[in-house]
Structure 1
Amino acid sequence: MSSCSSSSPAIAAASAAVVALAVANRVLYKLALVPLKQYPFFLAQLTTFGYVAVYFSVLYARYRAGVVTRDMMALPKRRFAAIGLLEALGLAAGMSAGAMLPGPAIPILSQSFLVWQLIFSALLLGRTYSMRQIIGCFLVASGVILAVASGANEGQFLSEVKFIWLALMVASSAFQAGASILKESVFIDGAKRLKGRRPDIFVVNSFGSGFQALFVFLLLPLLSNLRGIKFAELPAYLNGGAECFLNVDDSLIDCGGAPFLPLLFILVNMAFNIALLNLVKMSSALVASLTATSAVPISIYILSLPLPYIPHGSELSSSFILGAVVLLMGLIIYNLPQSSKKQSKTE
């Protein structure tokens, strides 16, 4: 399968939907964490259980309609469990870091996703890549490093951010990249088991989200302890998160924007995940991620502006902008068309 963009009208339409939803998802990701800045794990828990309720409801309807078959439902669950664990770690790490990082840094750091994805697809799917593609990924990584290094200089917008939050956001991308490659392997293996018919996307989303909700719940004591929340304090933390989410009057902190912003993020995030996985099914995980990354410059620009509940915005340094340009150059170089002869040797 080619890693390049396809001229197929169906894939072009799916790609356009992914780009639009990617921008909305990145902006709302930061906005949703404004009222719940002190309760990122509550939002992670709420998001995962929301996924489970919606996805399994749709899966049941599609099963009753005959779109989803018994053979699809009977696919081995080991990969789904691994997907759920990686997505749980990615979600928790990303929300912890996202609550502490300035908005423009989030889409930049998240682009390490492509580098991790290339590494994991080579290791797990046995794919090989051309020198041009490797150079493209190197530029993506260089752009991330340049942008972060410039922002960490004294007086810049990352100068007061602890390194652990930067590292957690990059680690979050690694977990999510691993999960996306495993999802692609489910489609590939499923096509073999189902005699050429690929599994329905809601089979993959539903079981992956089910295991994700389980692991978020099981990992909550450990993850919350990393933020200094003791196990005995966890019930009070979750109760405080619920009060902040509902924006009740007796909440001890300002939760302006809740519950509208978190709910809007969850809805858009679900739509984005469905659109992205549909593109993975139609093409490949790398094509889907490259399409989503085309939303990066738009997201960075919007997140640097004064927004509702983030009135001050962020001033982007020239070095940060240079890092973003290098990153985009890497994405363009990676995604340049190549001859069919070369394509047959890669991916």
Structure 2
Amino acid sequence: MLAIPKMRFVLIGFLEALGVAAGMSAAAMLPGPAIPILSQTFLVWQLLLSTIVLDARYSFRQIVGCLLVATGVVVAVSSGSDGDQMLSGVEFLWPALMIASSAFQAGGSILKEFVFVDAATRLKGKSLDIFVVNSFGSAFQALFVLFFLPFLSNMKGIPFSQLPQYLKSGAACFLNIGVGTIGCEGAPLLPLLYVTNNIAFNIAVLSLLKISSAVVASLVVMVSVPIAIYILSLPLPYLVEGASLTPFFLLGSTILMAGLILYNLPQPSKPRS
């Protein structure tokens, strides 16, 4: 581990923190079903950045799948009349910011892959534990998120001098204690439930990856996209209102899923001579 340059983890944390900050800012302004759709541009960014950083090469099928993902996103969020658009009334800045957050996250994932590839050489064939990379990356990510906090609060019109009071109010909202906690219904159960499910999901994906392959893990994760879209369209408790799924949004989601499936299909094995 001492042979691995630590600045790479700093850069990974920086990119992931940018992704979190941009994604959270955009998610607050976007309808629920649009969030998982826009997040799938991660695949497009990953293909592009891995070609640049890792000098990776992709098959024609994977490139077509990537283009289908991009097409599905465009159809889902911009087709139809103004009244039928999923993002009607939403400023262009917010979907663009969500797409940018996927680019930052993709950059972090490509750097992680580069760390693993480079570690095989530096450690003389020994593999670098995935939890070590995630732990260092997450630690620097947390530091950068704290660093970005004043800038994010300023974007929301919160002066830096009032930030401690907002943090105090946020803690009270999280614990759902005190007076004036309007809008904090469900806390702390819902935030803790989210964290628990997130951890369980990541552990499940890592476990699946260990006993199967990255393709199987990707396909399983991919199933969460239409499920998330459907669930977020429902009039769930603690949400303001459910969003209606337009035909164009459903068409775009179908195209996107077709692209993801095409991209993740296993490569045909070459016949041995």
Query: TM-score, normalization: structure 2?
Result: 0.89
In the alignment, which residue of structure 2 is the partner of 1:306? 235
In the alignment, which residue of structure 1 is the partner of 2:225? 296
In the alignment, which residue of structure 1 is the partner of 2:76? 147
Identity of aligned residues (%): 64
The Cα shift of 1:151 comes to: 7.5
What pairs with 1:44-193 in structure 2 (closer than 5 Å)?
72=1, 75-150=4-79, 153-154=82-83, 156-193=85-122
Is the aligned partner of 1:197 residue 2:126? Answer: yes
Counterpart among 204, 209, 224 of residue 153 in structure 2:
224
Answer whether contact 2:76 2:86 (CA < 8 A) is retained.
Answer: no
Residue type of the alignment partner of 1:181: I
The Cα shift of 1:74 comes to: 5.1
Answer whether contact 1:184 1:284 (CA < 8 A) is retained.
Answer: no
Distance 2:197 2:2 in 1: 26
* Residues 318/159 of structure 1: CA separation in 2 closer, same or farther (3 Å cut): same
Q: Which moved more, 1:179-188 or 1:247-256?
A: 247-256
Is the aligned partner of 1:331 residue 2:264? Answer: no
Report Cα offsets for 1:231-287 as digits up to 9, x if no partner: 222222212211211112313532111111112212222333445566678898787
Q: Which moved more, 1:272-281 or 1:222-231?
A: 272-281
Residue type of the alignment partner of 1:327: L
Answer whether contact 2:3 2:122 (CA < 8 A) is retained.
Answer: no
* Residues 188/283 of structure 1: CA separation in 2 closer, same or farther (3 Å cut): farther
Distance 1:80 1:152 in 2: 45
Answer whether contact 1:120 1:181 (CA < 8 A) is retained.
Answer: yes
Distance 1:138 1:230 in 2: 43
Quick one: higher RCO (CA 8 Å, sep 6+), 1 or 2? 1
Distance 2:91 2:56 in 1: 36
Residue type of the alignment partner of 1:197: K
Answer whether contact 1:122 1:128 (CA < 8 A) is retained.
Answer: yes
Distance 1:179 1:119 in 2: 13
Superposition CA RMSD, Å: 2.5
Answer whether contact 1:111 1:293 (CA < 8 A) is retained.
Answer: no
Residue type of the alignment partner of 1:90: G
Report Cα offsets for 1:28-56 as digits up to 9, x if no partner: xxxxxxxxxxxxxxxxxxxxxxxxxxxxx
Residue type of the alignment partner of 1:255: C
Distance 2:54 2:117 in 1: 10
Query: TM-score, normalization: structure 1?
Result: 0.71
Residue ranges of structure 2 left out of the alignment (5+ in a row): none
Distance 1:279 1:182 in 2: 22
Answer whether contact 2:33 2:229 (CA < 8 A) is retained.
Answer: yes
Distance 1:151 1:225 in 2: 36
Counterpart among 163, 169, 187 of residue 234 in structure 1:
163
Answer whether contact 1:114 1:290 (CA < 8 A) is retained.
Answer: no
- Report the count of equivalent residues: 271
Distance 1:142 1:271 in 2: 32
Q: Which moved more, 1:74-83 or 1:273-282?
A: 273-282
* Residues 285/233 of structure 1: CA separation in 2 closer, same or farther (3 Å cut): farther
Residue type of the alignment partner of 2:99: V
Q: Which moved more, 1:186-195 or 1:317-326?
A: 186-195
Answer whether contact 1:117 1:178 (CA < 8 A) is retained.
Answer: yes
In the alignment, which residue of structure 2 is the partner of 1:63? none
Q: Which moved more, 1:256-265 or 1:116-125?
A: 256-265
